[in-house]
């Protein structure tokens, strides 16, 4: 089974109730979740929903040790920027059109040193990049 086997409503319900199988919460599932929230809410509310959802899943399945606020916000804002460039009919179409999101760690390494990106501060609040200003194209 994959997260793609769930309807959007089932998927978000399982995310919000933290009942999703953690094996289904893949990188693509993160993109889907962000796309769904950003498609249905104003941007600030969606960013809060994305953060809260990932924190909830992290708390239940990883003891609250994996959530990283800077990465979450850069990723969510990157998705927001891409969504503003073109209208997509579905999350599947969005994922297919933005394959670069699958190499997000490479993208981050262009802007952040590991020391800054994986710092305690970046885990709990947004930290600006130390290599060069963020640009999403």
Query: Residues of the chain with pLDDT > 70: what percent?
Result: 99
**What are the residue ranges of helices labelled H in 21-86?**
27-40, 43-62, 69-85
Q: Which residues are CB-contacts of 130 (< 8 A; sequence separation ≥ 6)? A: 111, 112, 113, 116
pLDDT of residue 100: 80
Q: Torsion angle, CA of 18/24/30/35, rounded to 10 degrees?
A: -90
Q: How far apart are CA 51 and CA 74, in angstroms?
A: 11
In this prediction the pTM is 0.88
Average pLDDT, the chain: 92
Query: Residues of the chain with pLDDT > 90: what percent?
Result: 77
Q: How far apart are CA 132 and CA 2, in angstroms?
A: 37
pLDDT digits 0-9 by tens, 42-79: 999 999 999 999 999 999 999 989 999 999 999 998 89
Contact 83, 35 (CB under 8 A): yes
pLDDT digits 0-9 by tens, 75-86: 998 899 999 999
């Amino acid at each position: 089974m994959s997260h793609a086997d769930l309807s959007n409503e089932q998927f978000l319900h399982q995310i919000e109730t933290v009942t999703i199988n953690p094996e289904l919460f893949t990188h693509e599932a993160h993109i889907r979740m962000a796309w769904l929230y950003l498609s249905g809410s104003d941007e600030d509310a969606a960013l809060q929903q994305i953060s809260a959802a990932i924190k909830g899943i992290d708390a239940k399945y990883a003891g609250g040790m994996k959530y990283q606020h800077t990465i979450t916000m850069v990723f969510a804002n990157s998705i927001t920027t891409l969504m503003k460039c073109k209208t997509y009919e579905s999350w599947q179409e969005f994922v297919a059109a933005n394959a670069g999101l699958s190499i997000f760690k490479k993208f981050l390494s262009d802007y952040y040193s590991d020391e800054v990106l994986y710092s305690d501060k970046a885990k709990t609040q947004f930290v600006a990049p130390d290599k060069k200003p963020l640009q999403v194209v």
